[in-house]
């Protein structure tokens, strides 16, 4: 298992430093390079035989559990590959991925010294998979086994990470872990009864193992979140991931991003459920379930869910914007996905709550007046909108207001420069251009008190943005 170089973690058992030179060690190094320059037959056999000959008192079983530490410096050259930064705005130079060809380390673990050799074991053509063989030398097989077990436990564990399946293998994601740290049920706007039902459905499952056992029923559960996009399915999943992680008996989350695999989606599903069984009790997440479980993999998916292997302790959650696209064998049969929760477009009360959420966000902004009366007015003109559309209305309005503020600052500067006439002409042309779009003719003239609200720049701008968004929705329909 190769270390994930994206995010440094606390080092596994043992710490390394370049070893002193020994005659036997140099002969082993020379033997490897002599062997590697010609057509290879069996690297493992060559290295193991050489070590046994030159270090007969040491035990050195080969294994493929990586013990390489990120701060160690190889005793011999390695290939370095630059990995560019994930985001240009981070101002990061990127990082180097070190591909070890042959290296030697001194390890100290529990006051015991070990020698570690790492050798590239890619035999034959490039079509064969790459293998890194690790050889640990110590006076005792028991010490070797203890170190390997400790390193394996550390490597398979999570250090502020989330397991993510993508590209054909499981990866540890620190980024996803960080993104759920701010997730809170307080920020999830749902019908309160539904929210509490969601939370209790999950918590009761993980607290009821003995009950399931007493009733002699499999300790597994499946739930589907469905409904139009942008109404809280993803943020509810994140809030639940955080809730489960914060339990006294923490529950890990396993997130499936895709079923893409070099061996096909069937193999991917096998790997996914194998990992879930290993980490059970766990929270197994299939977001956009209808896209992941297509018709060609449906039978394999059902076999993993309902097959001969035990799925005890696995709470499976799937989300979809299109419930009708799911096979009835997945969406309608209990014991696969037992409950379905609809996330509809918000009603008036929920839209008011969401507007108050934005009111609180903007409370410290002196440039934006957001009185209580606007929360219900904005909620009223956003009927039929999802939370995502309402959010876009707020974001677009605030950006337009910020842009206009900068234009006014420029106007003041130009006025002080004595060329206000030119600036007046330019701004007049800009306003005739249409600016951020019109309000679609929906001025809400029939609403009492709207004239008094025109003094609030947020209300004026958000009416324009809502009209633009509604026009787009109608065209899609």
The alpha carbon of residue 251 and the mean position of all alpha carbons in its chain are separated, in whole angstroms, by 16
268 — pLDDT class (breaks 50, 70, 90): very high
Six-digit token pair at 343? 């996330």
* Residue 315: partners with Cβ closer than 8 Å, 6 or more residues away: 202, 205, 206, 220, 221, 222, 223, 251, 281, 282, 283, 284
Is residue 89 scored above 50 in pLDDT?
Answer: yes
Burial of 354 (0-12, 13-18, 19+ CB in 10 A): buried
Q: Please give the pLDDT value at position 113.
A: 87
Q: Which of 108-112, 249-253, 263-267, 422-426 has the lowest mean pLDDT?
A: 422-426
Average pLDDT over every residue of 132-141: 82
Is residue 93 scored above 80 in pLDDT?
Answer: no
pTM summary value: 0.70
Neighbours of 467 (CB within 10 A): 19
* Residue 212: partners with Cβ closer than 8 Å, 6 or more residues away: 218, 219
82 — pLDDT class (breaks 50, 70, 90): low
Q: Output the average pLDDT for the chain.
A: 80
Q: What is the tens place of the pLDDT at every residue in 395-447?
A: 999 999 988 877 766 666 656 655 444 434 333 344 334 333 343 334 444 44
Q: Please give the pLDDT value at position 295.
A: 87
Is residue 9 scored above 60 in pLDDT?
Answer: no
Is residue 72 scored above 50 in pLDDT?
Answer: no
Q: Please give the pLDDT value at position 423.
A: 34
* Residue 391: partners with Cβ closer than 8 Å, 6 or more residues away: 230
Average pLDDT over every residue of 233-247: 96
Q: Which residues are 225's β-sheet partners?
A: 319, 341
Q: Please give the pLDDT value at position 75.
A: 44
Q: Please give the pLDDT value at position 197.
A: 95
Query: Are 351 and 390 contacting, i.e. CB atoms less than 8 angstroms apart?
Result: yes
Share of the chain above pLDDT 70, in %: 73
Is residue 477 scored above 80 in pLDDT?
Answer: no
Q: Which CATH superfamily is domain 176-342 in?
A: P-loop containing nucleotide triphosphate hydrolases (3.40.50.300)
Average pLDDT over every residue of 25-50: 71
Q: Which residue has the tokens 């959420």?
A: 357
* Alpha-carbon distances of 442 from 21, 278, 389, 450, rounded to whole Å: 83, 57, 18, 12
Q: Please give the pLDDT value at position 52.
A: 73
Q: Please give the pLDDT value at position 440.
A: 39
Query: Are 216 and 207 contacting, i.e. CB atoms less than 8 angstroms apart?
Result: no
């Amino acid at each position: 298992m190769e270390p994930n170089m994206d995010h440094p973690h606390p080092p596994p058992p043992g710490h390394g430093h370049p070893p002193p030179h020994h005659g036997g060690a140099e002969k082993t190094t020379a033997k490897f390079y002599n062997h590697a320059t010609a057509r290879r037959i069996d690297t493992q056999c060559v290295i193991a035989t050489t070590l046994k000959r030159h270090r007969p008192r040491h035990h050195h079983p080969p294994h493929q559990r990586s013990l390489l530490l990120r701060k160690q410096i190889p005793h011999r050259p390695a290939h370095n590959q630059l990995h560019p930064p994930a985001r240009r705005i981070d101002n990061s130079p990127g990082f180097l991925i070190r591909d070890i060809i042959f290296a030697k380390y001194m390890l100290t673990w529990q006051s015991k010294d070990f020698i570690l050799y790492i050798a590239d074991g890619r035999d034959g053509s490039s079509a064969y998979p790459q293998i890194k063989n690790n050889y640990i030398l110590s006076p005792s097989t028991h010490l070797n086994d203890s170190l390997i077990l400790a390193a394996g436990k550390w490597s398979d564990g999570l250090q502020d990470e989330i397991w993510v399946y993508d590209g054909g293998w499981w990866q540890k994601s620190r980024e996803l872990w960080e993104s759920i740290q701010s997730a809170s049920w307080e920020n999830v706007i749902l019908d309160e009864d539904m929210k509490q039902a969601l939370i209790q459905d999950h918590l009761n499952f993980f607290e009821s193992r003995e009950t399931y056992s007493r009733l002699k029923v499999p300790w597994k559960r499946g739930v589907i979140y469905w409904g139009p996009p942008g109404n809280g399915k993803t943020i509810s999943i994140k809030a639940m991931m955080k809730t489960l992680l914060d339990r006294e008996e923490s529950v890990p989350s396993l997130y499936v991003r895709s079923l893409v695999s070099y061996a096909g989606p069937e193999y991917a599903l096998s790997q996914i459920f194998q990992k879930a069984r290993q980490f059970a009790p766990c929270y197994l997440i299939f977001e956009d379930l209808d896209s992941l479980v297509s018709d060609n993999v449906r039978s394999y998916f059902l076999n993993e869910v309902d097959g001969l292997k035990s799925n005890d302790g696995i709470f499976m959650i799937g989300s979809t914007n299109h419930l009708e696209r799911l096979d009835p064998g997945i969406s309608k049969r209990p014991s696969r996905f037992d409950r379905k929760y609809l996330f509809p477009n918000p009603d008036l009360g929920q839209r008011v709550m969401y507007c108050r959420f934005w009111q609180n966000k903007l409370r410290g902004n002196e440039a934006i007046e957001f009185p209580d009366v606007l929360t219900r007015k904005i909620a009223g003109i956003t009927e039929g909108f999802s939370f995502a559309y309402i959010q876009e209305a707020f974001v677009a309005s605030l950006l337009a207001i910020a842009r206009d503020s900068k234009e006014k600052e420029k106007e003041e500067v130009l006025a002080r420069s004595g060329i206000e006439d030119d600036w007046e002409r330019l701004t007049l042309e800009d306003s005739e251009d249409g600016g951020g779009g019109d309000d679609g003719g929906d001025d809400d003239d029939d609403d009492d008190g709207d004239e008094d609200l025109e003094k609030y720049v947020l209300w004026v701008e958000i009416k324009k943005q809502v009209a633009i968004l509604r026009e787009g929705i109608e065209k899609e329909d």
